[in-house]
Amino acid sequence: MKNMKGTAHHHKISAMDFLIAMIILSLTKSQMIGPITASSSEQTVYDFSLVWMTDTQHYLAHYPSTYYNMTSWIVNKRGEMKIQYVIHTGDIVDTATDDHQWKNANDSMSVLDNVNVPYGVLGGNHDEQDGFQNFNKYFGAQRFQVRTYYHADNDGNHYDLITSNGVNFVIVYLSYGIDSSERTWASEVFRTYGDRIGILAVHNYINSSGNYAGNGSDLNNDLVAPNRNVWLVLCGHVHGAHLNVRNAGSRTYYELLSDYQDLKNGGKGYQKILNFDMTHNTVHVRTYLLYSTNMVALVTNMTNSIWNCHLPQVQFQPSPLKIEPTYLPIRS
């Protein structure tokens, strides 16, 4: 509906060859601070975490051990960092017809399967080059049929119902090339689970300037803005980083682009961790760098800026739950 269309506040980060390394979403003006170290910046007080990765295609084409080490790190840190769930927003592989790349992807994600770490994936434009045949072969409904959190539609899309520390989420995954019927289906899912915090995971939604890309405008108008429980949209596809803070009436929601694929070595093994601090009603989103064979560290060598935001309350009365993202420009 036209009157539901959100008003965007753009927070653009521009520097030669950079990406975000930390995020903490906020409604207040960002404050620049000096270089930080892992000991001074790493959030240690939180209730649970989600991990977000995207655009891993160059790892699968050229650096498969990096992807394997990323998922292995998640498994190794799941207790210490209270990791409950992993989100992948597409372009798993570089060439959809290359079965070897899919086998490498399967090996890496099986690291999570083997210890029952729940996760969700969607197909990007690289994954759809063969009409999603290999995507469906390796990451279709049959892979998740024993996972009680997983619920598929008839077009290869799905939604996951996740509960962590009493916080209920509905996470809807729409693969590349979303049509009106798929937007309608996803909207019905969000309405059905209107008492859960909604996250929309798509591949292409906004570009590095914060403008809608592909059918992002249709997704916002038909799906995101009208559904009051949709709090966060995650996307990749375009190299760069951008955060939109949008308002629809008294509600605030967030649109976040992050894509590392054009950095050296296929993206340097960056992935984001969302730390949920329910005591302070905030979420700290930080980026970790795989800097050697099996070691990952919080990025520490850049200036960062911090925003404070709110997650919506589970019952979706007008007061929102709060999130906090932190951006670090990253040089290749």
Return the amino acid letter for 63: Y
Per residue of the chain (332 residues), what is the pLDDT tens digit? 333 445 554 444 333 233 333 333 332 222 222 222 222 345 568 899 999 999 998 889 898 989 999 999 999 999 999 999 999 999 999 999 999 999 999 999 999 999 999 999 999 999 999 999 999 999 999 999 999 999 988 677 999 999 998 889 999 999 999 999 999 999 999 999 999 999 999 999 999 888 999 999 999 999 999 999 999 999 998 887 777 889 888 888 888 888 877 777 777 788 888 888 888 777 777 777 775 545 455 444 332 223 334 555 433 332 334 444 444 333 33
Considering the entire predicted model, what is its pTM? 0.81
Q: Which residues of 279-306 are buried (b: 16+ CB within 10 A; e: fewer)?
A: eebbbbbbbbbbeeeeebebbbebebbb
CB 196 within 8 A of CB 170: yes
**Is the CA virtual torsion 67, 71, 72, 73 positive or negative?**
positive
E strand or H helix at 100, and its extent?
A: helix 99-113
> For residues 243 and 245, what is the distance between their CA atoms, to the nearest angstrom?
7
What pLDDT does residue 87 have? Answer: 98
Record the tokens describing residue 249, joined without a space: 């009436």
CA-to-CA distance for 194 and 168, rounded, in angstroms? Answer: 10
Torsion sign, CA atoms 171, 9, 56, 83: negative
C-alpha–C-alpha distance, residues 147 and 142, integer Å? 10
pLDDT of residue 169: 95
Question: What is the pLDDT at residue 302?
Answer: 30
Residue 212 has what DSSP assignment? B
223 contacts: CB under 8 Å, gap ≥ 6: 183, 186, 187, 190, 200, 230
pLDDT of residue 249: 87
Q: Which helix (H) or strand (E) holds 118?
A: none
Q: Which domains does the chain have, with CATH numbers?
A: 2-29+42-327 (3.60.21.40)
Contact 24, 326 (CB under 8 A): yes
- Can you give the pLDDT at residue 20? 31
How do residues 135-149 score in pLDDT, each as one tens digit?
999 999 999 999 999
Determine the 3-state secondary structure of 156 from DSSP: coil
* Residues 11, 29: Cα–Cα separation, whole Å: 9
Q: Which of 139, 116, 126 is nearest to 59 (CA)?
A: 126
Contact partners, residue 319, CB within 8 Å, separation at least 6: 310, 313
Supply the pLDDT for residue 154: 66
Query: How far apart, in Å, are the Cα atoms of 245 and each of 79, 233, 250, 304?
Result: 32, 11, 13, 18
